[in-house]
Structure 1
């Protein structure tokens, strides 16, 4: 049951969807905008005051006018390095002026630590401002001291009111602002509680407007829900320029920063960090980290070359096939799509002559990496076959390729770049689609086996 929010005489009631932020005059079970069920909650809102009477920075907007695109001056966006190479990679080469970046992740994953480290390095060359709404200034300063960060030029503000934050920003004129977190911000123009849909949306909109009109770059730290999405209205992700998610397996010291939206760079770009005593350290060669477990060369293991953004990565795919006591054997995939695993097993049975209908099949991508591209199809089936027959693949073998429903091996993008990465790390055999066979000659020390059908790939893996 939705509890009513007390309303003052000057306020009115509105029902706001927690998924998309749409507002309605009366409650209903389903949102008419996004179709979600039971997401409307009642909030008390006030009519916004005129801009001239609002507290804090109101800004000035020039009257819009129509302009021919050929008359618009354009060029490459100027970038500023954050001093952290992996963060610059995910941002698309650095931080652009006026960019608004939303950083989400599980509690304690390292969002505040990463941004504090980046802000401390940026403070050496430009004015910055760290706005904290969840911690005291003493806590922020204590973390900076533990991380051995320079504190001389690092300015901090403990405030949650967006009007006061903008007033301080106008006075200090920082080039970069970090707001930790956006769910704690609130504006005086609304009577809803901080963290509500309307407060998060309006506070973020004020910061985005300030960033665009002054050229100030803004980082927003966002909480996540139990489903893994950023808390607050979905429109929040549409308002910002980039959405970054910080991921990591529990108990592992490695962290992955992934871009899900980026107006200034590649989507799905990946940055890898290692958590240590002095904070997060970038991992410039993640392929060596993901292959350092030593399980390659064992039955059920296959190394693949995946591509995240602009970077090829060598990751290990493990499979475990065991007889099932259940009438409906289990299909478990970690780091891969489970429905695609079921489809690949059907292709293996139909076009490879290998049936696992009475076997439990478990597939895992080592290192907590989540592979979303089809290049993992062939390595997954090779790992499944290796585990079923209890025979390891030939030593120093790598594979990639998409498998169609008719058993054909389809090429994947950037084949030569993937092969170059494998050769760099000392692999000697590569089972790849025929369309990805190198045209400019073989790579030194790497034997490339080009296949067209699944049966050919299975024969090559058995040699």
Structure 2
């Protein structure tokens, strides 16, 4: 290692003069990569004069905002994830597994943005001919869409500064490098410096950027954690192997709601949005089910109706299993304990399996009551109507607690033709202000639920 060399943690950016196995800052193992400090004169920036600094300072009251400062597409779900459209000068990082469809989605949106002006698609992984071939398969043909096969960020900076396209797509950030730094593409230093250049271009030139980022085997964004802090929005593109649907999840958004979620389907002619995602996830339910319950969960600003399925079997050998997919396993343990203590159910020597079909994960505590009802249904062998849903968070005393955004959840149930719903008594005053086509079954605690579940099932 040269005298200008050091080691940097690709998780938190911590620097060390020697290689170490475990980062003393973030505690991760095997995350240190060697970096070489830049000795290039181009990397040294002169201090600005007071006059130049004064020109950078603008009064808050003097800033004028455009009425329509967002670029919109015909893909309404994509615009919703962005917060209503792409903001001018916004930098969006889109990550996901290889082959999940990131490039396909961005190529389709690139065509949409050409109605506002020139769009530049930069690829360090494919040639323009390869991108053209994929574009023709997707039915894309636009004279305002330009392709560039370049990996040097300095050349990209000069082109964008002169041509000033409206939107630039970079596929991917791991292939770019800054020639002012003596390290290979994909290292933490190169990713950091190239992203800084992109952010600088976006804010100075009012150019919007989409950046494609690879992920590690643990599902994290490859490169320094600083990358996620520098950009304006971080979207995760997810999908199970062998399934045709894809999920776009918002993890960060300075210009919109976080934790937003949109569902797409991967088809031969590209990626299509699924507007009625609740109906999509409930399409294979029977008229009546045992051990199944529908819950309206909130993801960002949108309500999704998801089915919770439960199976209980006798333990054949060893320790009872608690197999959970799509729900918090620790939360399931709490709900099982509540069912045993407050409802007299003997689950200690039972295998319990809980699944949320469709690949989505539920983090909303309002799904507690639905999970418990599905457990009771399979335990007591009670059928539940397909048109009944449940909303409510459970306390350890067996009380059913108030949930937020109850009106949005009830409206979504109405839209899909549900007939009734169990809801907390604590929400009564809020819902009585409105009229619903649903039968509202108010519950204070699990004792009231036990009296009614058989009749309403």
* Shorter-chain TM-score range: over 0.9
2:151 is matched with 160
Are 1:190 and 2:178 an aligned pair? no
- 156-165 vs 394-403, greater mean Cα deviation: 394-403
Distance 1:231 1:51, change over 3 A: closer
Q: Give the unaligned 5+ runs of structure 1.
A: 1-5, 55-60
Question: Equivalent of 2:331, from 335, 340, 343?
Answer: 340
Counterpart-to-counterpart distance in 2, 1:94 and 1:66? 28
2:316 is matched with 325
Q: Are the equivalent residues in 1 in contact too, given 2:312–2:379 (CA < 8 A)? A: yes
Q: What CA deviation, in whole Å up to 9, does each residue of 1:290-324 have, x standing for no partner?
A: 11012462211101101111111111111111112
1:252 is matched with 243
Q: Are the equivalent residues in 2 in contact too, given 1:382–1:458 (CA < 8 A)? A: no
- 84-93 vs 64-73, greater mean Cα deviation: 64-73
Counterpart-to-counterpart distance in 2, 1:127 and 1:72? 26
Counterpart-to-counterpart distance in 2, 1:209 and 1:24? 28
Counterpart-to-counterpart distance in 2, 1:13 and 1:405? 56
Q: Are the equivalent residues in 2 in contact too, given 1:129–1:155 (CA < 8 A)? A: yes
Q: Are the equivalent residues in 1 in contact too, given 2:116–2:166 (CA < 8 A)? A: no
2:93 is matched with 102
Counterpart-to-counterpart distance in 2, 1:436 and 1:419? 12
RMSD over equivalenced CA pairs, Å: 2.2
Counterpart-to-counterpart distance in 1, 2:130 and 2:18? 43
Q: Are the equivalent residues in 2 in contact too, given 1:296–1:316 (CA < 8 A)? A: no
1:299 is matched with 290
Counterpart-to-counterpart distance in 2, 1:358 and 1:77? 61
Q: What CA deviation, in whole Å up to 9, does each residue of 1:412-459 have, x standing for no partner?
A: 111122111111211111001112231224412x11001111232243
Q: Are the equivalent residues in 1 in contact too, given 2:387–2:419 (CA < 8 A)? A: yes
Q: Are the equivalent residues in 2 in contact too, given 1:296–1:302 (CA < 8 A)? A: no
Counterpart-to-counterpart distance in 2, 1:45 and 1:382? 60
Shift in Å, 1:384: 1.5
1:17 is matched with 9
Question: Equivalent of 1:63, from 46, 50, 53?
Answer: 53
1:3 is matched with none
1:273 is matched with 264
2:195 is matched with 204
Are 1:34 and 2:26 an aligned pair? yes
1:58 is matched with none
Q: Are the equivalent residues in 1 in contact too, given 2:289–2:386 (CA < 8 A)? A: no
Q: How many pairs does the alignment contain?
A: 448
1:38-57 equivalence runs, <5 A: 38-47=30-39, 49-50=41-42
Shift in Å, 1:47: 3.3
Q: Are the equivalent residues in 1 in contact too, given 2:161–2:201 (CA < 8 A)? A: no
Distance 1:435 1:310, change over 3 A: same
* Corresponding residue SS for 1:124: helix
Question: Equivalent of 2:379, from 379, 388, 397?
Answer: 388
Distance 1:46 1:358, change over 3 A: same
1:59-458 equivalence runs, <5 A: 62-63=52-53, 78-295=69-286, 297-437=288-428, 438-444=431-437, 446-458=438-450
Q: Give the unaligned 5+ runs of structure 2.
A: none
TM-score (ref. length: structure 2): 0.93
Q: What CA deviation, in whole Å up to 9, does each residue of 1:96-131 have, x standing for no partner?
A: 011000001111111111100000111133111000
Counterpart-to-counterpart distance in 2, 1:159 and 1:184? 9
* Corresponding residue SS for 1:275: strand
Counterpart-to-counterpart distance in 2, 1:451 and 1:84? 40
